[in-house]
Amino acid sequence: MASPLRKFLLKSSSGDVIVRREMRRAKSDSTTKMQIMIRSFESIDKNLHWELPPDTRKIGLPSTRSLFTVLKSPHVHKKAREQFEMKINKEMLVMETKRHELRKKLFWLKRQRIFGAQFEILFSFKTRLDKAQLQEVLQPGVKDVSKYNKLEERSVMQALNSLAHEGFYSDAVETSLNSVESSLPANNTSAFPQGLALMLRSVPMELLKARVDKKGSRAVSTQLIEKFILNNPHRPNVEAQPDPEKASQHESVERYNLEKLKASMTEEDLAELARVTSELQLKPSAPLKAVPRFSLKNISKKPMQVPLEVGDINGVKVLKHDLITNDVLYADIAFDMSSLKPELLPLVPLFCRSLLEMGTKDVNALQLSQMIGRETGGISVYPFTSSKQGSKDPVSHVIVRGKAMSANTEALFNLMTCVLQEAEFTNPKRFKRFVSESKAKLENHLREGGHGLAATRMNAKLNHSGWIAEQMGGVSYLEFLKDLEGKIEEKWSEISMSLEEIRQTLLSKKGCVVNLTSDGRNLKISEKYIRKFLNSLPSNSSVSSSISNAQLPSNNEAIIIPTQVNYVGKAADIYENGYQLNGSAYVISKYISNTWLWDNIRVNGGAFGGFCDFDTRSGVLSFLSYRDPNLLKTLDVYDGTSDFLRGLEIDDNTLEKSIIGTIQDLDSFQLPDAKGFSSFLRYLSGISEEDRQARREEIFSTRSNDFKEFADIVDAVKDKGVIVAIASQADADVANKERSNLFEMKKVL
């Protein structure tokens, strides 16, 4: 379970003191607490002769009394027994101190002696450090523990016992629940075991959330910890220790076996082995005749066709895809966001979630979720933003997606109506949880996947659609959430009115588009329910429209976070520099990622990944690195891409493989619902079937000269590109020192 809490159980070399340090992320550093848990067979007050420092409280804890009965002589006197008692007195001292005073308090503590007693010290303080910096803070203690002591089972059991009786931190529970819940709708389990994925999908998450709200953090796993770990008499203990000699021993055994095998071979055997080895070395890349070779002739020259019928119901465009879906109807409804006030954009993701998780006048959030789960296969609401093909105009919609068996089609659209029109924004406490969870998710994404946020930030500097997306899911959105979190209760009436204004602006037939995917019979049956749904919408928005063309300033920017790795991006709008779209750009950008960036960013540079991406709708060509130890060196690699293309000599076999790989990305396998939805997004973005066919023909006709000609286009990124790096303060300072204020700093964590 992912949690913002990190625990470290440390034992001093003397064996008398166990130190548990608990660090938890928070908004700012605050008062440190030092708790001293004292256990003694004797009276603690009698033996405690300390002069306690100021701001220290004594808390009496219940004593533990254990009785033992021993058979005195079972073979002679069967009933002769002796009784023993073990009583442990406990007391806690709580000291309030500032972090800079901690060393003084520890020095004072070392001078004290409690004879015949054991004491445990618990430090708790809040920090904004990431995992790497947290490790540096604790490095001296961790080194001592790993070198001189073993982590005793007793220490682990004490931590588990604390969890069982006190529960997990509520923030960690809520974040984990949200993380699991958000991953359930996706059917692609990747490396996750399919059976466990099916089990998780059967968990009633809303019931679990309600249980947590009612019982607190102890509602999660605490009983399981107590039953299966603490009170389990069959609990095994496994101690794993590294063997530094294991590799050399394995190598010695292998060398011995080879020498033994060689000794058993004759001169003729050795000569034959040398001959076969020489032949294999001379022909390392000879193709195996038994394996058929895939070529361009095996690929269709036409793109994957999805049946599409565009109709009209009550003045609203309705797209229908006649596909076999096993009696399931997939419905997508897009509401135009172009008339929404710019200042309301950051509230849109929270608005979408509030529709589903705030409840209505007649049912609460749990009941609404149960109704959706009982009658449908799920309903989701989220914003979608893109550039329109062949235009600078953005495409921005709030999309409502749902699916149901054909027999429940009416219930699906009734629930969509209920969610969109009857949801009430009356629960500030629940809304605050949405804000906190969204903020935590973005902060984690900034640390673990900062290249995505760097790309979003660069797009916001290059076009208006990128700016819209950044307001709803980038660094600007994170700053908005931080500011909003502390004002929810104070300004709830204003927030509630803004959410209602978003609804009044979006919900209208104007700009609405409906997308349906199912077989022909179900599509015909669904028409009357679609008509009823659309009749409930107003013809036009009740709020006056607002037009904006905002972008972020096109300056180079360093987003400062506590990290040991960087995420470096550089991008430019190549349409602005005269480039006319050609399908060869798909092949070239993929080739750059797989060769030039792979070799220089990942292999030689030590980053986890390097990417070249070309957005054909907006014209943004971008370079990105993932978990990169470098910054300026990475930018030099990006700037060297055009020279790499000019000097590239690509053979026909390599070119053919690159084209096949590009087509593979375009023709990736999709289930019927994904086919219908992809067609829907192409329609919204203005991509026609003629455009798809033209791009595919251009991909097939890509030649080696196209790579050299594209080098002039890449020069636009080198000369006019905007840079966004998510990096540490130290790396950004070094970059500014070496290249004369290359970055403007922006600290977000």
Query: Measured in Å, how far apart are the chain's first and last C-alpha atoms?
Result: 23
E strand map for 509-556: 513-518
CA pair distance 723, 506, nearest whole angstrom:
35
CA pair distance 190, 194, nearest whole angstrom:
9
E strand map for 98-165: 117-127
Q: How is residue 536 written in tokens?
A: 């409930």
Q: What is the residue whose two structure tokens read 């008499």?
A: 233
Instruction: Note the pLDDT of residue 174.
Output: 59
* Of 741, 729, 655, 692, the residue nearest 296 (C-alpha): 655
CA pair distance 34, 119, nearest whole angstrom:
12
Q: Kindly report the number of other CB atoms within 10 A of residue 6's CB atom.
A: 16
Q: How is residue 75 written in tokens?
A: 């073979």
476 contacts 459 by C-beta, under 8 angstroms: no
Alpha carbon 189 to its chain centroid, in Å, reads 15
Backbone phi, psi, residue 156, to 5°: -65, -45
DSSP 744: E
CA dihedral of 388, 393, 394, 399, whole degrees rounded to 10: -70
Instruction: Note the pLDDT of residue 366.
Output: 82
* Of 719, 446, 741, the residue nearest 567 (C-alpha): 446
Instruction: Note the pLDDT of residue 282.
Output: 65
Backbone phi, psi, residue 509, to 5°: -70, -25
Instruction: Note the pLDDT of residue 671.
Output: 86
pTM (predicted TM-score) = 0.65
The pairing of beta strand 567-573 with beta strand 309-313: unpaired
User: Chunked in runs of 10, what are the mean pLDDT values of the chain (749 residues)?
Assistant: 35 37 39 73 64 72 80 67 80 72 65 64 60 46 41 72 74 58 49 66 71 72 80 77 77 88 90 84 56 80 92 94 91 94 95 94 86 85 91 91 90 94 93 93 92 95 94 95 92 95 93 95 94 91 68 94 94 93 95 95 92 94 96 96 94 92 89 92 93 94 94 94 95 94 92
pLDDT digits (tens, 9 = 90+) for 316-370: 999 999 999 888 899 999 999 998 999 999 999 999 999 999 999 888 888 888 8
616 contacts 628 by C-beta, under 8 angstroms: no
Q: Which residues pair with 397 in a beta bridge?
A: 336, 384
CA pair distance 572, 592, nearest whole angstrom:
16
CA pair distance 121, 136, nearest whole angstrom:
20
In terms of Cβ atoms closer than 10 Å to its own Cβ (0-12, 13-18, 19+), residue 454 is buried
Burial 478-509, CB ≥16 within 10 A → b, else e: bebbbebeeebeeebeebbebbebbbebbbbb
Backbone phi, psi, residue 358, to 5°: -105, -20
